[in-house]
Structure 1
Amino acid sequence: MPQTAVITGSTKGIGFGLAREFASRGWNVVITGRSDESVNAALGSLEKEDGRVIGQPCNVAENDQLQALWDFAIDAFNTVDIWINNAGLARTQWSILDTPDSEIHTMITTNMLGTIGGSKIAAKGMVSVGYGKIFNMLGGGSDGEYFPGMGIYGTTKRGLNYYSDALAKELKDTGVLVGKIRPGMIVTEAVVREAQEDLERFQKSRKFMNTLVDQVETVSPFLVDQMIGFEKTGAKIAWLNTFKIMGRIVKNMISKRPDQFERFGL
């Protein structure tokens, strides 16, 4: 029987890449987005994959919609083996004092409350059957590092690092595993949007970013491999580790890496 993965925020970006990768391996996949239009468009792009892919809209800040997502997956596939809290928002062009209150509210409710609510609902369902894996998507700031413009976003991810550790400890004797994912710097629609909103700022950091960024299709297979084989609760799956960063910086001194942004019109 095929296994099932539920991925929030999976109509685009790394979430979509993960959905495609799971489906290509024959998994059942449940995708979500903010609207019927986004979900239907993503389903159309995934219809040729080997696994069965279904989806429905879900605002992860609303627990009733998260519960409906869990029920939707169970009704369709009877089980959820992996639940990935991927839905998130990064607004990184402002200092803390200049970040609009509305953007602060959206980042906190999406990144933090969405992940907390999603993992609680998934954990309760998984504990009842004695198995399952929950993965929370971290990002810049989750290890305490500072990046300009990421004061609020980084705060949400730092909090989720602690939350994931706490959840792993509380579920350690249940058969449910909790993992943390640091996907690295990936060129997504959100990154392109922010670059377009402030091209001058983007151009100043372009050379450095080009050394470290990756494409969705490069990172997704690695992350899915690691999630499927995941056995140590509380552990972190990191694509862009310190060794890889240093290696790229040194390599870039010898030969220039192809531009990773050009195909996006930047």
Structure 2
Amino acid sequence: MTVVVVTGGTRGIGQGLVRAFLAEGAQVAYCGRSIPDSSVIGDALGIVADVTDRADVRKLWDASVDKYGKVDIWINNAGLSNSRKPLWRLDPAEIDAVVDVNLRGTLQASAVVLDAMLAQGHGALWNMEGLGSNGQIVAGLMPYGATKRGLTYATLAMAKELAGTPVKVGLLSPGMVVTDLLTRDYEPAELEKAKKIFNILADRVETVTPWLARKVLAGTRNGGRVAWLTNRKAAYRFATAAFTKRDLFGNS
């Protein structure tokens, strides 16, 4: 059976991926800075771990190998967004936290995981893209977007460093997904305006993550990307928005 590890698996896209991989028959481990009872997912192995701490990442790897015998796929999903404010209005600690988890944490975790995968002779590491990965700039989300832009570069650089080895890295792009990170910090009137775009381009976790899980299990070339919301799909949705009514924030 394929063994998958998902960091940041206690909520949002991460939790959706854990459930989706389990549904596909994989053996799954996941981590969070805490594992509340509400985050216990099926037969998955939940481990308390901080991805910015190499010792914690190694603990997650070792626990997964102890239980399942190997790790085939590792997904660096853990991430933070910042409050929707201009840079100069953000608390310094918030800027540090976003950079720490999204970029430094992913680099530190990747270093541990790639070394372990090379030692075991196989493996695939996936890094999660987000707003900013493709160069899109949104005012108020600068620290988050900068980390995701940097992470895309880092992943492609990892692919070059891994050339000729049995280990691959890839980019996972979930597109616009309805989570608390998407809707936080909007004023009520602004949120209602934003929802018009979200209802065209966004999707629910339970829609996106099963597709992503199947694509990850199918594999990709070293340095490849799996993207849910392609430019063609986005253009089609805008073109048909007047005829296709979607309500991602109601019951439909």
TM-score grouping bracket, smaller chain normalisation: over 0.9
Alignment of 1:35-50 (within 5 A): 35-37=34-36, 40-43=37-40, 46-47=41-42
Any unmatched runs of 5+ in structure 2? none
Indicate yes or no: 2:250 matched with 1:259: no
Contact 2:200-2:246 at 8 Å conserved across structures: no
Matched with 1:165 is 156
Matched with 1:54 is 45
Paired residue total: 252
Matched with 1:150 is 141
The verdict on how the C-alpha distance between 1:27 and 1:6 changes in structure 2, with shifts beyond 3 A counting, is same
Q: Distance in 2 between matches of 1:241 and 1:13?
A: 21
The verdict on how the C-alpha distance between 1:252 and 1:92 changes in structure 2, with shifts beyond 3 A counting, is farther
3-state secondary structure, aligned to 1:222: helix
Identity %: 35
TM-score by length of 1: 0.90
Matched with 2:217 is 228
Deviations 1:61-105 (A, max 9, x none): 211111111111111111000000000011251122222211111
Any unmatched runs of 5+ in structure 1? none
Indicate yes or no: 2:4 matched with 1:5: yes
Contact 2:30-2:47 at 8 Å conserved across structures: yes
Deviations 1:153-209 (A, max 9, x none): 1000000011000111101211101000110000113334x15x6323322322112
Indicate yes or no: 2:20 matched with 1:18: no
Range with greater deviation from structure 2 (95-104 or 128-137): 95-104
Contact 2:30-2:46 at 8 Å conserved across structures: yes
Matched with 1:132 is 123
Indicate yes or no: 2:205 matched with 1:216: yes
Contact 2:170-2:220 at 8 Å conserved across structures: no
Q: Distance in 2 between matches of 1:235 and 1:5?
A: 18
The match for 1:113 among 91, 104, 107 is: 104
Contact 1:177-1:233 at 8 Å conserved across structures: yes
Q: Distance in 2 between matches of 1:90 and 1:183?
A: 15
Q: After the TM superposition, which segments of 4 or more aligned residues of structure 1 sit over 4 Å from their partners?
A: none
Contact 1:92-1:153 at 8 Å conserved across structures: no
The match for 1:101 among 92, 95, 105 is: 92
Contact 1:186-1:214 at 8 Å conserved across structures: yes
Question: Aligned AA for 1:60?
Answer: V
Contact 1:11-1:32 at 8 Å conserved across structures: yes
Alpha-carbon RMSD:
1.6
Question: Aligned AA for 2:177?
Answer: I
Indicate yes or no: 2:64 matched with 1:67: no
Matched with 2:235 is 246
TM-score by length of 2: 0.95
The verdict on how the C-alpha distance between 1:62 and 1:199 changes in structure 2, with shifts beyond 3 A counting, is farther
Range with greater deviation from structure 2 (201-210 or 214-223): 201-210
| Deviation, structure 1 residue 36 | 3.3
Question: Aligned AA for 2:28?
Answer: V
Contact 2:75-2:128 at 8 Å conserved across structures: yes
